[in-house]
Amino acid sequence: MSDLSGKNLLITGAGNGLGHAMALHLAGCGAQLVIADIDEPALAALSEKIQAISGNTPLSVVLDVSSEEQWQAAASTIAQQLGYLTGLVNNAGIMLHVPFQEMTLEQFRQTLQVNVEGVFLGCQNCLPLLELGAKEAGSSSIVNISSIFGHVAGLMHSAYAASKGAVNMFSKSLANELPRQGLNIRTNTVHPGVMSAGVSIAGTQAAIDRGVFSSAEEAGQVLMMGNPYGRPGQPEEIPGAIAFLLSDASLLMNGAEITLDGGHTA
């Protein structure tokens, strides 16, 4: 387990799915957390679990990552309550499962607003807090959650794939730009594969509903084709890599991509 004591970390989309598993793990590693989501009841439930695990009360922020105003307010609250951040995990994301011929411009834009503009706004609004954190602790770390579908094509989620491809190159650009400006802030991406939770489950169900697959069994077989593990990932198998990227054990990692897919895209 990575040692994250003394770290102040913000994670978006923390209320459910992978973000929830990440938050519990990071709290267990000793970090002071800021948990953010649009789902207020989920934040309240998570906050109780974190207190039980670590004895620490996380700072809960109701935040729509696609809203500039809400990011500004969140950054101001964090500055007042914690002073600085040493890590930011841009995890909140959506995946609409719509065939390309039927996808509306509004759906395409909505995906990019949450998955790409949300990451841009998170990085920009947290930059001063991360800069302060780097001065305080030596370095700060941004982890942007991408997907294997930022590298390989899937079915019925062209907007999602476009958004994750954008997150990849946006992240590499920050990795190149920030240190050259004297900022001790690293930026890396994590690429989960098909998971047993969250957007993968919704995607599989949408494909079954549309007759792409005749059953959950068939969907499972097709989706796992080429996956040497023959099974989807579990949410608990993601946070270890995130904790590593947020820790001082990965100081030379900047602009890197960590793929967590059991070898699916190998």
Residues near ligand NAI (CB under 6 A): 12-13, 15-19, 37-39, 42, 63-66, 91-95, 114, 145, 147, 192, 194-195, 197-200
Q: Is 93 in contact with 114 (CB distance < 8 Å)? A: yes
For ligand NAI, the closer of residues 17 and 133 by Cβ is: 17
User: Cα–Cα distance between 66 and 110 in angstroms, integer?
Assistant: 9
> How far apart are CB 38 and ligand NAI at their closest, in Å?
4
Query: Measured at CB, which residue is nearest to ligand NAI?
Result: 198
Which one of 160, 170, 213, 244 is the catalytic residue?
Answer: 160
3-state class (DSSP) for residue 111: helix
Least Å from the CB of residue 197 to ligand NAI: 6
Place of tokens 């109701």: 62
Shortest distance (Å) from residue 217 CB to ligand NAI: 18
CA separation for the pair 194, 231 (Å, rounded): 9
Which pair of structure tokens corresponds to residue 220?
């499972």
Select 64 or 131, whichever has its Cβ closest to ligand NAI: 64
Smallest distance from ligand NAI to CB 58, Å: 15
Tokens of 74: 């969140």
Shortest distance, CB of residue 180 to ligand NAI, whole angstroms? 27
Pairing label, strands 140-145, 185-192? parallel
Cβ 242 vs Cβ 26: under 8 Å = yes
- Of 38 and 85, nearer to ligand NAI (C-beta) is 38
Cα 45 from Cα 25, distance rounded (Å): 15
Q: Report how far apart, in Å, the C-alpha atoms of 244 and of each of 3, 112, 172, 238 are.
A: 9, 28, 18, 11
C-beta closer to ligand NAI: residue 29 or 238: 238
Q: Which of 94/183 has CB closer to ligand NAI?
A: 94
Alpha carbon of 195 to those of 18, 201, 236, 261, 264: distances in Å? 9, 8, 10, 8, 12
Nearest to 245 by CA among 236, 254, 234: 254
Annotation marks residue 229 as catalytic = no
Residues with a catalytic annotation lie at: 160
